[in-house]
Amino acid sequence: MPNYRGRLIWPFVADIARLDTAGTVAEPGAGNVVTGYDPDFREPVVYAAGDSPRAEIEVLGLPCQVHPDKGDFNNLQMMLSGAVKAYSLHLCFHYIDLEARNLVDTDGSALIKNNDRLIRIRHLITGQIVSDFTNRPVYVTQPQDRGMGMSALSRNLLMVRFEERETSILSV
């Protein structure tokens, strides 16, 4: 039986910085903070000076399909303090590319996890930056398996939702 796992259509390259949970430690002199994580929200903290103990493993250049959210793309929400711009998009990755870069765990799950950060999206051939998120960080909020292959009876697609989120500041 042939192994048909499909392919990406019109791929781009996503540069993703994976969160290093073990390397995220407290900033020296941070007072009573013993880890780099907020005890209530369980996410990397940002100190009042704007510094963060967030450590990242590597920057991955992964082929992907880009799927902007139809209803949420650059949506403005009004709050008491003014307009808050909400941004989200989906990127679709192929498991063949994840497997080639050792980004599949021993249990078969993808190693792209919540809180990984999207840095930029580049053109596959020219490398030209299409979207840059360095000043407007968006994070993985929902990695989800999609598609189980055409006839190979194995999964082939990973759909990952990236969203912009507000940053909390920890005063110590």
Each domain of the chain, given as residue ranges in start order, spans 12-164
72 alpha carbon, distance to own chain's centre: 17
- Choice between 168 and 131, residue whose per-residue pLDDT is larger: 131
Residue 1, pLDDT score: 47
**Which whole number is the average pLDDT over 73-81?**
57
CA-based radius of gyration for the chain: 18
Q: Give dist(CA 166, CA 158) in Å, integer.
A: 25
**Which whole number is the average pLDDT over 40-68?**
73
Both tokens of 103, joined, read: 């980004």
Both tokens of 14, joined, read: 């996503």
Residue 3, pLDDT score: 60
- Choice between 76 and 123, residue whose per-residue pLDDT is larger: 123
Residue 19, pLDDT score: 79
Rounded to the nearest 5°, which phi and psi values hold at 159?
Answer: -100, 125
- Choice between 87 and 7, residue whose per-residue pLDDT is larger: 7
Local confidence band at 8 (pLDDT 50, 70, 90 cut-offs): confident
Q: Is the pLDDT of residue 75 over 70?
A: no
Both tokens of 22, joined, read: 């073990």
Residue 100, pLDDT score: 92
SS3 label, residue 12: strand
66 alpha carbon, distance to own chain's centre: 13
Q: Give dist(CA 143, CA 145) in Å, integer.
A: 7
Are the CB atoms for 113 and 140 separated by under 8 Å? yes
Q: State the DSSP H helix or E strand holding residue 99, giving kind and residue range, or none if neither.
A: helix 95-100
Report the 10 Å Cβ neighbour count for 80: 4
Both tokens of 23, joined, read: 């390397």
Both tokens of 38, joined, read: 């907020």
Q: Is the pLDDT of residue 73 over 80?
A: no
**Which whole number is the average pLDDT over 87-95?**
89
- Choice between 109 and 79, residue whose per-residue pLDDT is larger: 109
Are the CB atoms for 68 and 138 separated by under 8 Å? no
